[in-house]
Structure 1
Amino acid sequence: MNELWLFFGFLGHDQYTQLIVHTIIAAILSIVVAKLATRNLQLIPSGCQNVMEATVSGMLYIGKDVANEEIARKYLTLAGSLAIFIFMANAIGIIPGFEAPTANVNLTLTLALIVFVYYHFEGIRAQGLGHYIAHFAGPVKWLAPLMFPVEILSHFSRIISLAFRLFGNIKGDDLFLAVLLMLAPWVFPLAGYALLTFSAFLQAFIFMVLTYVYLYGAITGQEEAL
């Protein structure tokens, strides 16, 4: 989207400069929202606190549905933070003059690697290194030589799945927005913006759900739940 005017274009139009700038903006927005929601906590919430409490409750509900209550609460910090950050990163790309950093595979790959490394770490911590590695061989011992490499490849494919699903969808949204603005630059395309906002939310939701799913499978060893 370098053909479009950018607020921070004066810093350079190369993809890495814009990636860093807009990633920082998304992170700052996430922190600001969290601060606004918690700066004046009330027993009967209102405003930003009300919205964030509803959001967190929804995340916990989804986490309990995907995994269980213990895992949902324990890993809410990770899954919830990723969801909020990814939504902010997706959403800023809807605003003309900004780019969605999640439309750059370098960021989505980094997020996918964070989830990949962390769920393996938690799986090893929960089950022990030997037992965790053994579950890759499957329940049938004579099939272990076949199942082990297949399981290893399937786990590495999750990196690609997480990274390129998010990247591909948001990059497509960016291109759709670019075409929309070129075709109707003087008309505010409400339907298109509504669709892009929903897509920004949906991709953050999917990333959060998959994070919970992978954590649950690693901790419990129930890979069939994936």
Structure 2
Amino acid sequence: MDKFLEQFSLNAEDSFSPYNYVAYILLCAALLYILSVIYNKYGQSISNRAQLAKVLMIVGLTTFIIISIVKSSLALSLGLVGALSIVRFRTAIKEPEELGYFFMAIAIGLGMGANQLLPTLIGFILLMLIVVLQNKSGSASITQNLLVNLTCDTDQKTALIEKISDAISANTLQLEVKRIKHQERAIAINFLVKVTSLEDLNTINSNLIAIDPKVDVTFIDNTL
């Protein structure tokens, strides 16, 4: 009975070592930093990846602190379950990739907070290798609907369509013309494009602006 009641003690373990704790939290921060660098470099999210990378560090380290506190006390563990039941996240995660990286950060915090160094390191290294190899093999790409609207004279439409197509195809892996709408003094073209990175989308936008500064360019996410 005494041993059972000891599980509800709020006192820290006698074997707690501040030096080990600091070493583990620093190593956890290093792994999370590597994760954020990988996400910044290989992530395909349209949202601000640099901002989300900072959040990954906070989420992972917070998870580490929580697990390192509650792992030695059943009472604290039960209290954590109750606390989490009233927490609500108001900001929705818009893309599945973001959710995947959040789970990676949480897994790192869980593993290091529970002093599971070897399983955490092995799992982290394997996950990062998979992410890098997927991108190196060219499997990662961005598919967008590209809407181009441009005001022009009737006799310039054919030449402008060719210029626009050449400017886009030079920076895409795949290009399809879905729709061309001719108006009295304007043209509207709908392309389906596949590119390797967001930088390619910026380049396409710059090339189209060079053709005509008044061009209206819209990118809409799609699946090719």
Calculate the TM-score normalised by the size of structure 1.
Answer: 0.27
Larger relative contact order (Cα-Cα within 8 Å, sequence gap ≥ 6): 1
Structure (1/2) with the larger strand percentage: 2
